[in-house]
Amino acid sequence: MVRAGLIIASGFAALVACYLVVLAPALRAERPPTIYTPGLSGVTVRSQIPVPAGGKACTVPVYLTRESNRIQYLLAGAVTSTAGIGFTVTGAGLSGKATSASLQPAGADTLLTLSFSPAAQSDGLPATICLRPSKAPLSLVGTDESHSAVVAQTSVDGKRLAAQVALVLLGPSNQTTSEVLREIPARVSATTLGLIPTWLVWALVAFAMLATIVLPVTALAWADRLRGQE
């Protein structure tokens, strides 16, 4: 009995240590909330879409929501300056421009995040977004996979492309991973039109977590007890 208690205590101590060292920092880490992916955020067959200096790459339709005011592109290669990169978003009663731009390395490529204003005044507003590099050419990352077609189509200087551009619509501010995870049960409930209430999703999650944590430790202690009785 004492050994079983020690096994259970050791198991839970290891879980607590794992939470403090690995899981807690990951949950506190900030990330931009993805609202909508009019393009492709992950591609398996890579294409590069060149946009010449003075050219214009436009994607339509991009459905905006009232809480979205950032667009994120994936640029091919290392891009170190946003100078000369213009951006517009237009729709019914909306004419917005970039208010800020930032670059972040993404492996060998670069993430370009553009904040725009004003934001949409309604949800589901179809808009056209255009990227204009005036000083230097750039290449957008995308894919021409036949099974990866999306609604939004991209054209460069009016010429429609077969490739889809990697593009993500983001919310106004970053969220921690724990905040994003807490929204999932409500979103799952929404996909069922409320047939599965949010509290039931939370209950199922709690049961799954409890089973994942408690059952292995309990089984190990029980197996040790049976071994001691042999």
**Residue 226 belongs to what H/E stretch?**
helix 198-229
Domains and their CATH numbers in the chain: 2-30+176-229 (no CATH), 33-173 (2.60.120)
Tell me how far apart the alpha carbons of residues 22 and 24 are, in angstroms, rounded to a whole number: 6
Mean pLDDT of the chain: 78
Identify the band that residue 223 occupies on the pLDDT scale cut at 50, 70 and 90.
Answer: low
Q: Are 48 and 23 in contact (CB under 8 A)?
A: no
Q: Are 152 and 38 in contact (CB under 8 A)?
A: yes
State the residue for tokens 């398996």.
44
- pLDDT tens-digit profile of 72-84? 999 998 988 888 9
- ω before 172 within 30° of 0 (cis)? no
